[in-house]
Amino acid sequence: MFRILKKNIETGKVTLPYASLTAKATEGFLGAPEVDPAKCTGCGKCVMACPTKALTIADPSSEDKRFFHLSYGDCIFCGLCGPVCPHQAISFKGKFDLAARTKKELCRELSFSLSDCRKDAAFMAQGALPVKEKVREVPGFEQGDFAGRISTEEIGLRLKDKIKRLFGRSLHIREVDAGSCNACEVEIVNLSNPVYDAERFGVHFVASPRHADMLLVTGPVTRQMELALVKTYEAVPSPKLVVVCGSCAVSGGIFEGNYAVVGGVDRSIPVDVYIPGCPPRPEAILHGIFLALDKIPAVKED
């Protein structure tokens, strides 16, 4: 006992000062891909390397344009697109705080003139590029655009006051695993360790949806878990907040199209905030949770 106490005293404080001081990603963490429009030529090699179709190219027949789409909601941050780019247009800088209220906010688009696109020998040798007429659209319950996003730097300073003003107590979260591989659960558990210590912000996880203010859902919705997810959502008192964690929960991820899954969470219940990543870092999860709180005043005014 004294040995443990001595070790704790010698270790000292380990909690990160998030979010007043944004934590840097650890060495080796790729993060989300970023495309440099000055270098990208729209050749499409990254599209063929992407395992989840997060990268797509469309050539509208009526325009002399080529559109390049990047969806962070579908991206699993695997890094396969970077090495195949012949122009080094794709880089990874550890970006992770990408939570958004709509899937549209998770999409990036570049356009190129077909007459200006490079027709190098390697590109021509590959023959016809698999071209999509439009970006894959999934029917869902997207909630539309809400108030402006709070920056990451402001979140930590305003969180406690906001939770107290909205709830008069801590923010209670019920986590639901709708069919994940448990990678996202590992990161959610990390929120309670001494490094991240989410409880200092007034964030608590509860066992019953009837005690919850928010649902934090992970994994693609499997057909066996869909009914349980819907009933859990119905059991949460109004106003209901739903935050989905991880690319599988956002869009189905690598399981999209599988016979055993329904797909992303918004095919079963309404979603307020999407947190992309495979899995997202604890800081990204905190960012998404805090972002969802902005919807509460709008709900109470209805």
Looking at residue 161, what is its pLDDT?
Answer: 64
Q: What is the pLDDT of residues 157-180, one digit of tens each?
A: 556 666 666 666 678 999 999 999
Range 40-54 average pLDDT: 87
Nearest in space to 21 (alpha carbons), one of 201, 196, 153, 155: 153
| Residue-range domains of the chain with CATH | 152-301 (3.40.50.12280)
Rg from Cα positions in the chain? 21
3-class DSSP state of 223: coil
pLDDT at residue 226, rounded to an integer: 93
**pLDDT for residue 157:** 52
Report the chain's mean pLDDT, rounded to a whole number.
Answer: 78
3-state secondary structure of 90: strand
Q: Looking at residues 63-91, what average pLDDT do you find?
A: 87
The pairing of beta strand 261-263 with beta strand 221-222: antiparallel
pLDDT of residue 179: 93
pLDDT at 132 over 80: no
Confidence check: pLDDT of 127 > 50? no
pLDDT tens figures, 181-228: 999 999 999 988 888 888 888 888 999 999 999 999 999 999 999 999
Give, to the nearest 10 degrees, the angle between helix 183-190 and helix 282-292.
80
- What integer pLDDT is reported at residue 115 of this predicted model? 61
Q: How does residue 232 score in pLDDT terms, banded at 50, 70 and 90?
A: very high
- pLDDT at residue 114, as a whole number: 63
